[in-house]
Amino acid sequence: MTRPSNKPMSAARRNRRWTAAAVPALAGRVAVVTGANSGIGLETSSVLAARGATVVLGCRDVRRASQAADQIRSRTGAEPARVSVVQLDLASLESVRRAAAEIRSSFSALDLLINNAAVMRPPNQRSAEGFELTFATNHLGHFALTGLLLDRLTATAGSRIVTVSSIGHRDGMMHFDDLQFDGGYHADDAYAQSKLANLLFTHELHARLQAAGTPTIALAAHPGLARTSLWRWDPLPVRVLASRALRPATFWLAQSAKMGALPTLRAATDPAARGGDYYGPGGWREYTGYPARVESSAASHDATAQRRLWAASEQLTSVSYRI
């Protein structure tokens, strides 16, 4: 992976139409993408494979992941060995440990870890360890996976960890006194908290990696409003608005998964990207558009909250980072 530049990016360069064509050649690079069997993860994995990377699809449903792997090979002409599947259920820390062990046994070094998988506003459910499902899947599972793979990443110059957040993080608040919503579940609040946690995690991870002088950087991205299966638990009127039948009327409000994947791809591969950067669509309210460097909420930069979440995450997952 090309080492990122520390030079400030000009306004012209920031605002140009960055597309998948800008992704550099990635032959010999290894990328792990969670939630890669559909939506943003599938599109991200397809572009990485097309540019020559070896891509590991970390997915809960192995059958669907295998179908996605076949689709990526068909799209890109990638050799079968360059697109593989690892069973990964982020709502089970046992599954996360098994997946990490399998990846470690296959690769001595990793170039990219893309923490993409997510659930959005599901009914109140619990993970295998009894954690609230949204927080477990969107944050704790990725925190554990990153920690378990960290030495494989820090062994690689120019390696990157990209965590996918959401514009919904702006409404987020960390309920440190009740992270699992034991006092009453609110789907919107749970999702916003988890997406804020993604950014708190990224900023704290970046600071720790930088302080240790490692060659790895941490970044974040969000897809804006993209039409993916994440919407499946939304109310019927929202799902109707996002349906294929109404796309001609609502195209300005939501974009395709291919467009939604571009911020992730830019964070993962743009040589000008720097640790701690956050990418999202550059259009109105960051709903749609080509990827640009964007700003996360003030709450995501709260250093006390970053450290507090880190400590809670280590305690809940029993995964400690050795940086």
Q: Which residues contact 323 (CB under 8 A, 6 or more apart)?
A: 150, 154, 208, 209, 211, 212, 214
Respond yes or no: is residue 279 known to be catalytic: no
Question: Could you tell me if 101 and 90 are in contact, meaning their C-beta atoms sit under 8 angstroms apart?
Answer: no
| CB contact at 8 A, 103 and 151 | no
Chain-centroid distance of CA 51 in Å reads 19
Give the three-state DSSP class for 188: helix
Distance CA(323)–CA(316), nearest Å, equals 19
Tokens of 300: 């995501």
Buried b (16+ CB within 10 A) or exposed e, 232-245: eeeeeeeeebbeee
Q: How many CA atoms lie within 13 A of 72 on its CB side?
A: 35
Reference 143, options 155, 135, 154, 151; nearest CA is 135
Q: What is the DSSP string of 190-229?
A: HHHHHHHHHHHHHHHHHHHHHHHT-S-EEEEE---SB-SG
Which CA distances in Å does 106 have to 15, 57, 85, 93, 296? 39, 13, 12, 20, 35
**Active-site residue, from 185, 191, 279, 321:** 191
Measure the CA angle with vertex 41, ends 196 and 288; round to 5°: 65
What positions carry a catalytic annotation?
Answer: 191
